[in-house]
Amino acid sequence: MTSPALISALHRIDAVFGGMTAPAGGCLHCYDAEELALLAVPRAPLGDDLVRRPFHEVPGHFDDHPAVVRRLLPEFLAFVASGRFHGIGYLSTGLSRTAWRGWPRDQAEAIGGFLDTWWRETLAAPEPVYGVGAVWKLCVESHGSLAPVLDVWAAAPRGGIEDAHLGDWVAYRIDELLQDDPFVLPWDMDGEALLPGLRAWLVEHAVERLAGHADPLLAPKVALLALAPEERWAACSELVASAG
């Protein structure tokens, strides 16, 4: 069930973006002219499939890609919040392919408010509708930055469900992190540039939060991320060997 806070964030999105239109020009190989024409009709219902597909297209598919993203936002985010998006996290989003943070203040604040609320509520839910990793990816990608997402995790109370989700996420990714695998981050972001910041954040915040994890080696492995790449695997092998 969608929470009051998320409903409020969606209402704000609709108040800001509802009724917007986009030019009806676009790729006729991927879309019918009738589908594209709906983009130029204010508040014409698009349905899950038509709102989802254009939201993941590269900009060259449309005559005015930012306008298409703005047109789709109310229906797309309502679709996401409903829990019906079964393919979440597999494709880049329209927001990541626009400069939305430079849009008018009310638009940027409405988008940022939704992402923040959705991420907070995902972390606070014992069994979120989508996996934490999928929501993390979409929020990081949409922001184009790690900071807004990691800051929410850092501010969460210690010892709660947020730490349990952090442990699950780190346990799934620790080998990739130790290898500096850029695919820990969304594929269309500069993983090599962002990985040092992610490693530093995990060393600063995750080591203590994961001290009580079911895997007693997880927190020590995270601490190894502070080492240079050539030192990590030798230290990790020694850590595992010492644990028997």
Instruction: Quote the pLDDT of residue 233.
Output: 87
**Would you say residue 198 has pLDDT above 60?**
yes
Instruction: Quote the pLDDT of residue 1.
Output: 53
DSSP letters along 165-177, please? HHHHHHHHHHHHH
Out of 84-93, 118-127, 181-190, give the one with best mean pLDDT: 118-127
Query: In this predicted model, what pLDDT tens digit does every residue of 28-80 receive, in sequence order?
Result: 999 999 999 999 999 999 989 899 999 988 888 999 999 999 999 999 999 99
Query: In this predicted model, what pLDDT tens digit does every residue of 40-53 receive, in sequence order?
Result: 999 999 989 899 99
Instruction: Quote the pLDDT of residue 176.
Output: 94
Q: State the sign of the Cα–Cα–Cα–Cα dihedral 80, 82, 83, 84.
A: negative
The answer to whether the CB of 12 falls within 8 A of the CB of 78 is: no
- Supply 114's token pair: 């939704």
Task: List the Cα angle 103/138/163 in 5-degree steps.
Answer: 120
What mean pLDDT, rounded, does the chain reach? 92
pTM, to two decimals: 0.93
Element spanning 34, H or E: helix 33-38
Query: In this predicted model, what pLDDT tens digit does every residue of 129-144 receive, in sequence order?
Result: 998 999 999 999 999 9
Residues in the chain: 244
Domain ranges of the chain: 1-129, 156-244
Instruction: Quote the pLDDT of residue 188.
Output: 80
